[in-house]
């Protein structure tokens, strides 16, 4: 059932935006897209802290280009979220950035319904000629009737604030106790020894059963509370994902289902045998081309991987962290994906999947399914998987960060 929430003015829309996007934007440019009078998605980019007209135009052009990919979107409300202040003034900050967005939106044929700013001490519309000194009180957003309606729409037992985190998400740096991590390390070493000893692979054991039944272990683990996954199954998954073929199979299995995972496994075997064209389907899915993955499976896989990362020895974390990055990217959460990429590369500066994902984020790459918002389902309420987000990062900045990580790694060596 589609829930329609009516936002009658700026404060109502601002109360709704975190629900639409699934997070509280900070230092962000956000575009709320509309089909007619109903919202159909939200796009986010890092707020450019620059007065250079070319930089602002490039960021605005990129964002509007993404907006153009949402089917039948015809209107937009751009918003700025900033830690800057009105103080005693009545002009919203970052007006140059907003002017660039409005210009490119109108040039591309979009109706700009409003343009809003949420600053540290107030909010206002850039199109309002009678903004009070200091802007409107931020308390008006919390007091909006939309806030109460959203609370009433939540099912019993749901968190009071589904968008309680900013776009980087909850802190992922949780960890299990040392004894648990040591036991996990010993189990992973046992799997590693088995894999290098053909004789051991012929001896029946619980470890062998876990390895041979990896797809079943993966499916069972994603369908139960993450904290209840046994140490043996957790170790089997962590060991398997150390190898790229099994890692990629697990990623597709969790995102697209059991059959897709089985096809990816067969593709891996054909690729290993040198069959021309093998691996193209999996590569397309990884790049974000193909059917939309199941958001509920992805959310469950994210919870599972967070648990596995917490239990894993440090050296075994980069594959799981990179998978967390991809799964968040697949849901349009690029800023959240960037957190996991940074964590993976801090452990292994040359880890391939993390570097590929970092490059994808730096060019603003988003999965095609992020824009496939069903026309009949567009509403003014957030729907998982219908929001898209991009972090605009320069390639020069990415290269500098990578060089710094590698220098630090050499220094530790």
Q: What is the pLDDT of residues 2-25, one digit of tens each?
A: 455 566 678 888 988 888 777 788
Angle at Cα 331 formed by Cα 263 and Cα 295, nearest 5°?
65
Averaged pLDDT, 85-103: 94
In this predicted structure, what is the pLDDT of residue 40? 81
Q: Which stretch of 57-61, 141-145, 317-321 has the lowest confidence by average pLDDT? A: 141-145
Is residue 79 helix, strand or coil?
A: strand
Q: How confident is the model at residue 82 (pLDDT cuts 50, 70, 90)?
A: very high
Q: How confident is the model at residue 310 (pLDDT cuts 50, 70, 90)?
A: very high
In this predicted structure, what is the pLDDT of residue 49? 87
d(CA 59, CA 201): 54
In this predicted structure, what is the pLDDT of residue 272? 83
Q: What is the pLDDT of residues 262-271, one digit of tens each?
A: 999 888 888 8
d(CA 147, CA 388): 22
Percent of the chain with pLDDT over 70: 81
CATH number of 10-153: 3.40.140
Q: Compare 211 and 381 and report the one with higher pLDDT.
A: 211
**14, 49, 122 from 133: Cα distances, Å:** 20, 23, 9
pLDDT at 1 over 60: no
Domains of the chain, by residue range, sit at 10-153, 178-372
pLDDT at 236 over 60: yes
- Comparing C-alpha atoms, which of 148, 153, 13 is closest to residue 77? 13
| Torsional class of 254: left (φ above 0), alpha (ψ -120 to 50), beta (otherwise) | alpha
| Contact between residue 115 and residue 102 where contact means Cβ atoms under 8 Å apart | yes
Q: What is the pLDDT of residues 317-372, one digit of tens each?
A: 999 999 999 999 998 888 889 889 999 999 999 999 999 999 988 877 888 887 76
């Amino acid at each position: 059932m589609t829930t329609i929430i009516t936002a009658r003015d700026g404060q109502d829309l601002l109360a709704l935006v975190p629900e639409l996007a699934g997070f509280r934007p900070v230092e962000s440019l956000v575009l709320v897209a509309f089909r007619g009078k109903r919202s159909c998605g939200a796009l986010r980019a890092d707020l450019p802290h620059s007065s250079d007209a070319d930089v602002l135009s490039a960021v605005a052009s990129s964002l509007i280009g993404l907006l153009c990919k949402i089917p039948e979107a015809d209107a937009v409300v751009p918003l700025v979220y900033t830690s800057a202040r009105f103080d005693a003034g009545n002009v919203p900050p970052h007006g140059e950035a907003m002017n660039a967005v409005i210009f490119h939106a109108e040039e591309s044929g979009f109706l700009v319904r409003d343009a809003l700013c949420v600053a540290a001490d107030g909010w206002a519309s850039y199109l309002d000629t009678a903004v009070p000194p200091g802007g409107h009180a931020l308390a008006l957003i919390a007091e909006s009737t939309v806030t109460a309606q959203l609370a009433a729409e939540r099912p019993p037992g749901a968190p009071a604030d589904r968008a309680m985190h900013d776009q980087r998400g909850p802190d992922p740096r949780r960890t299990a106790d040392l004894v648990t991590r040591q036991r996990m390390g010993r189990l992973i070493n046992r799997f590693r020894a088995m894999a290098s000893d053909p004789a051991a692979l012929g001896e029946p054991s619980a470890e062998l059963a876990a390895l041979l039944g990896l797809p079943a272990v993966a499916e069972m683990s994603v369908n139960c509370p993450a904290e209840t996954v046994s140490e043996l199954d957790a170790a089997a998954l962590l060991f398997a994902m150390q190898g790229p073929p099994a890692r990629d199979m697990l990623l597709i299995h969790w995102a697209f289902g059991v059959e897709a995972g089985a096809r990816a496994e067969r593709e891996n075997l054909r690729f290993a045998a040198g069959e021309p064209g093998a691996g193209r389907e999996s590569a397309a899915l990884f790049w974000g081309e193909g059917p939309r993955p199941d958001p509920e499976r992805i959310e469950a896989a994210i919870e599972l991987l967070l648990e596995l990362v917490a239990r894993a020895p440090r050296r075994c974390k980069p594959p799981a962290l990179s998978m967390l990055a991809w799964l968040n990217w697949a849901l349009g959460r690029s800023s959240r994906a960037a957190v996991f990429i940074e964590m993976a590369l801090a452990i292994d500066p040359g880890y391939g999947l993390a570097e590929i994902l970092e490059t994808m984020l730096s060019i603003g790459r988003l999965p095609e399914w992020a824009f496939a918002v069903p026309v009949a389902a567009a509403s003014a309420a957030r729907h998982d998987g219908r929001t898209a987000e991009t972090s605009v990062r320069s390639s020069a900045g990415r290269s500098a960060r990578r060089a710094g990580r590698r220098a630090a790694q050499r220094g530790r060596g």
